[in-house]
Amino acid sequence: MSAGESARSHPEQATATSAAESTLFLRKATGLVRSWSVFDAFIYAFFSINLVTLGLYIISQMWFFEGGLIPALIISGVIILAECVVYAGLIAVMPRAGGDYVWQSRILGGGVGFVLAITGWWFILWLWTPIYADMLRQIFFVPLLGVIGAKDAALWFAWDPTAYFIVCVLTVVFVAAVIALGMKTYARVQKFCFWIGNAGLLVVCLFLLFGSNAGFKAGLEANASQMFGAAPGVYDATIKAGQTAGAITPLFGGSLVSIFLLMPYLTFFNLWPNWGATLYGEVKGADDFKKNFWGMALALIVTTLLAVVFFLLVDKTISWDFLNNANAAYWSYRWGFSTDAPPLNVWPYPAMLAMFLTTNPILQFVVMLAMSMWFFGWAGTVFLSSTRVIFAAAFDRLLPEAAAQINPRTRTPIWALGLMVVPGLIVSALFAYNVPLFGNPFQSITLASTLVIAVTFLGSTISAIILPYTKKDLYDASPIAKYKIAGVPLISVAGVIFAAFLLFLLYEWLLDPNALYGIGWSINEKGIKNTTSIIFMLVMYGLALGIYLGMRAYRKRHDGIDLGMIYKEIPVE
């Protein structure tokens, strides 16, 4: 290609191609190529609303609803697009490591910002540690051990609390290692997992597409018996056990209200396209609103479509009815609502069920291994985003300086990781052994993991709504100032929509008027008043407030620093 052709095909390069056209740039001296591309941020967002881990896990617990799953997936996805607008806007205005903490502390004030961000991005991730580990054992250890013929080991991992706790330890070791590799290597790891995991999912979908229900029944009988020692007649027995447990959730249909009532569960899966928000100080072009928005929105749209297609294929071959009954049989036993062990005596992992359509163990093993990449590419999200919030709080001197230090040789944020890992393992032990702390079994607080983060998001959403009015100069100088709807800033409009959604979720979780969620103080006489959940959350907020007040007083007395002044400045990049 000649220089002239080059110039025509790529105008940006025209400067270099002919004397007549050449110009020089006013480039400043220092530049930085940030660690992550927009595509890396997309993969992070895509994995953060992870269909195979979060999605299949939480949907398996939703067997007792009257609203249709697929309309709930679509409607919630549309509403959560407003969250993408809110976060893409906040990132474009202040692309800083620490995300929610920086925005809230600078817009709402230091105390509110610290308490909400620290609880939502740090403390509550302790509870997510055993939840991540539960998914690891269900999609990795159990099916793979089953496929290779280690039936007893598979069942040990499936049911034994000590095995569960060991998986928790393995999870934090893996997560710490992958974070210690640094952002560039992390991006490479998640990219590898993204392609392999999706290839695995494609194979699973092809099996579902070309398989038949009769073939599945036969495969289930053969494989469930061989891998896990299930008794003959497992298909019919599972349907019966599920019906006894009260499995009713349809794939379609239901009133709008009943569809909305699925969302406090479903958001455990799809509320997180913004999960990379705290990392955007390290993403290329983070002040580009459109790129930020599409990075998150595409992850949400693609995942939602993928979920719809996947469950339609499940319905075609496995049948939604069977899967929903299997879910009900499994969870009603695990939660202690039933004393009858499920006929299919492991978690009904849909990808594994799809691979029951073959009896080729090598194929089953390879596909299950590929599917486990959905976990390994995603696992780092449990702590990675949180480390940036801890760093940002430490730079503001709200935490000891050590919290923002790294091991000079390995470049591992040892203290920040320690602050995640050690309490995470304590909570993991409580969760794995399902300790009945303060009156309720510990595993009953699973959804609190979503509630606390939703409160944090509400704080950032309120920040976004008032940003154009309280930080007018900052907003006017930002790339989002031009986006308005009927003269009202787009970020404020989207903020109001998303805030309304979050308030609905919080009302349902906390007051639980239909006795569905079991993590709040239900106003329904049949509902649960979950003291364990309430106390756990109050302790976290109390701890965060205590740290804030304590550090503020300490800095004033010992260092003569008024932390209130720090919040008047936007942190440096």
Q: Which residues bind another protein (CB under 8 A)?
A: 1, 3, 6, 9-10, 12-13, 15-19, 22, 24-35, 97, 182-184, 281-282, 284-285, 388, 391, 395, 404-406, 408-409, 411, 413, 569-573
Residue closer to another protein by CB (options 54, 393) is: 393
**Helix/strand/coil for 525:** coil
CB of 244 to another protein, least distance (A): 54
Residue closer to another protein by CB (options 185, 359) is: 185
In this structure, the number of other CB atoms found within 10 A of the CB of residue 208 comes to 24
CB of 392 to another protein, least distance (A): 8
CB of 24 to another protein, least distance (A): 5
**Helix/strand/coil for 248:** coil
In degrees, rounded to 5, the angle at the alpha carbon of residue 443 between the alpha carbons of residues 441 and 447 is 125
Residue closer to another protein by CB (options 146, 295) is: 295
At 484, phi and psi to the nearest 5? -135, 150
CB of 288 to another protein, least distance (A): 10
CA distance 43 to 303: 11
Residue closer to another protein by CB (options 411, 472) is: 411
CB of 31 to another protein, least distance (A): 3
Residue closer to another protein by CB (options 28, 558) is: 28
CB of 121 to another protein, least distance (A): 16
Q: Are 389 and 398 in contact (CB under 8 A)?
A: no
CB of 28 to another protein, least distance (A): 6
CB of 287 to another protein, least distance (A): 8
- Supply the DSSP symbol for 529: B
Residue closer to another protein by CB (options 33, 486) is: 33
Residue closer to another protein by CB (options 97, 241) is: 97
CA distance 224 to 415: 45
C-alpha count within 13 angstroms, C-beta hemisphere, residue 284? 13
CA distance 128 to 382: 7
Residue among 118, 313, 288, 96 at smallest CA distance from 212 = 313
* 308: amino acid identity, one letter: V
Residue among 242, 216, 229 at smallest CA distance from 318 = 216
Q: In the numeric block, which tokens belong to residue 227?
A: 């891998």
CA distance 263 to 247: 18
| SS3 sequence of 115-182 | HHHHHHHHHHHHHHHHHHHHHHHHHHHHHHHHHCCCHHHHHHHHHCHHHHHHHHHHHHHHHHHHHHCC
CB of 569 to another protein, least distance (A): 7
Residue closer to another protein by CB (options 114, 156) is: 114
Those residues with Cβ within 8 angstroms of residue 293's Cβ, 6 or more apart along the chain or in another chain: 84, 85, 88
Residue closer to another protein by CB (options 32, 214) is: 32
CA distance 60 to 512: 20
C-alpha count within 13 angstroms, C-beta hemisphere, residue 371? 32
Residue closer to another protein by CB (options 19, 486) is: 19
Bin 18: left if φ > 0, else alpha if -120 < ψ < 50, else beta: beta
CB of 282 to another protein, least distance (A): 6
Residue closer to another protein by CB (options 215, 285) is: 285
CB of 7 to another protein, least distance (A): 9
Element (H, E) at 484: strand 484-485
Element (H, E) at 488: strand 488-489
